[in-house]
Amino acid sequence: MTRAGRDDDPDRFYTLTGGRAPATEDFDLVTLVVSESAPSAGMTSEQVAILDMCRAPTAVVEIAAELRLPVGVATVLLADLLHAGKITVRPPLSAAMSLDASTLEKVLVGLRKL
C-alpha cells in the first residue's frame, strides 16, 4: 500500500513548477496565506485550488497537504501567486512578539492552582 502523493511521477512536479527550485521567499510551514482575488483565466488547477482554499487564512503546510504536493512544489506555486498579487502572506509571530517571561510565569502559577 502506498501513500497518496508519495509515489507521484516526478515529471508532474517538474511540469507544475516549470523546473524551478523552491521559492526564494521565506515561506515557513506555518506562514498564513490569504487570497486577494478570484482565479483568472490561464491559471493551473492547483493555483485555482489554492485561491479557493485560502479565502480564509491557511498555513503553507495545510495547502501542500490538501493538494498532495511536496512543500517545495507548493511554495513555488505560492511564490507565483504572490508575485502576481493574487495572495498575501502573513509570517508567523516572531520571537520578539512572543510572551515575556513574567506572563508565562503567571500562566504557570495559574495552572498549578488548578
- Residue 13 in this model has a pLDDT that exceeds 70: no
pLDDT of residue 56: 93
Over the stretch 56-93, which tens digit does the pLDDT of each residue have?
999 999 999 999 988 888 998 999 899 999 999 987 76
CA 46 to chain centroid: 13
Per-residue confidence band for 28, with pLDDT thresholds at 50, 70 and 90: confident
d(CA 55, CA 32): 11
Of residues 30 and 5, which shows the higher confidence score? 30
Of residues 111 and 104, which shows the higher confidence score? 111
* Calculated CA dihedral for residues 22, 25, 31, 37, nearest 10 degrees: -100
